[in-house]
Structure 1
Amino acid sequence: MFYWVMKRIFLGPVLGLLFRPWVKGLDNVPAEGPAIIASNHLSFSDSIFMPLMVSRPVVFLAKAEYFTGTGLKGRLTALFFRLTNQLPMDRSGGAASAASLDAGMEVLRGGGLLGIYPEGTRSPDGRLYRGKVGVARLALEAGVPVIPVAMIGTDKVQPIGKRLPNIRRIGMIFGEPLDFSRYYGEAEDRLVQRKVTDEIMFELMRLSGQEYVDEYAAVVKLRLAGKQPEPESGGEGGASATG
């Protein structure tokens, strides 16, 4: 909480002056009570810009590798992610991902806002990719609404592989809360998980205007790197803040 307050006081005005973010639908974020904020994922900086616009702290799930680095750089990276309200998330799928989602559940049970990128990793080419079902499991088990958020232009500010950002305007659109109460009690049903996740991804596609690809972004990244994706590399259960 302390870091979030300091970030809004000091970092917020600087980023606001440089990048002049425009925002629509911010009143769709509830003033109190638990909710999931599900966003498309174009850039590492998504997790910096979006929380600055929300009047409540947003806790993100981030890939576990950011918390386990060695050496000075690894320790500083882990410290940064902890200070910015991010929790480690195992994205390998199966039991590991399910266990990691427990941390997100605790945030929701405590009445907080949980930020998730259902694609599980940044888009490799600006398109919107298939969502992982972890977001659906959390929404159904916790009984909370999902607020879809479309980040606009952040991939131009900080493309993958670029450390220093380009100074240009970015935007974000907060959609109306999605109510999945009709599925409460069916959180373990894989067909229901996929249906809920697909509904969330449809809203993200509608809000962002991105082309949708019915394939996992992680699989596409492996292919682009010249690697052969393993059958489980899509990792149905995961969801992540950045990667």
Structure 2
Amino acid sequence: MLARSIYKNSAILAAFALLSIGLIAVFHFFTKDKIAAEMQAKLARTLNELVPANQYNNDVYHDCLELDSNGLLAQKELTRFYRMYQDETPVASIFTVNAPDGYSGNIELIVGIYADQSLAGVRVINHNETPGLGDKIEKQKSDWILQFEGLSLTKVEAENWRVKKDGGTFDAFTGATITPRAVLKAIANALQYFKNNQQIIFTSSKNCGVNHEST
């Protein structure tokens, strides 16, 4: 009797598990297109916020290149670079960078860098930092993230892209040092990667999904 009861309960649990998996699959099927459209709209807003649309005239959403950053941008997958040109002259590139060492884990940033290697801007697109402290990296919560516009490795050397507590140039938040420290490290990595691979980024054929060698 005990064995039969255990078998029955196991069968019920297995049935519930299969039902749950099925419901998740159905939900994903009916919502994936909507989610993709929302992500595309968010990307479009961010692109034009960092680099105004009147500064380029190519179809930036279809002019992208994927590169392997060899861990410098902390990407598990290839990094997608969107390129802006004005009459085939390089203007800027926008790409995502991950800061894996935030206080509450990964912080995802989108970074825009002009062809002169200066920052068009940085925005946080995903994080789990502490509300009221670490979330001040969001533009909606403070203007801290705006201070990087126009800066470069020429204006602020790589070793100075740190909080003042670590001997760097930038202020942290009161009661929160880990979050800005992680963001600054990620921005410095993005600037360095762009500097090392700028020619590849702007001259390689657009074809997302194809791997290209980089330094």
Smaller-chain TM-score range? 0.3 to 0.5
TM-score, normalised by the number of residues in structure 2: 0.32
TM-score, normalised by the number of residues in structure 1: 0.29
More strand by percentage: 2
Rg larger for: 2
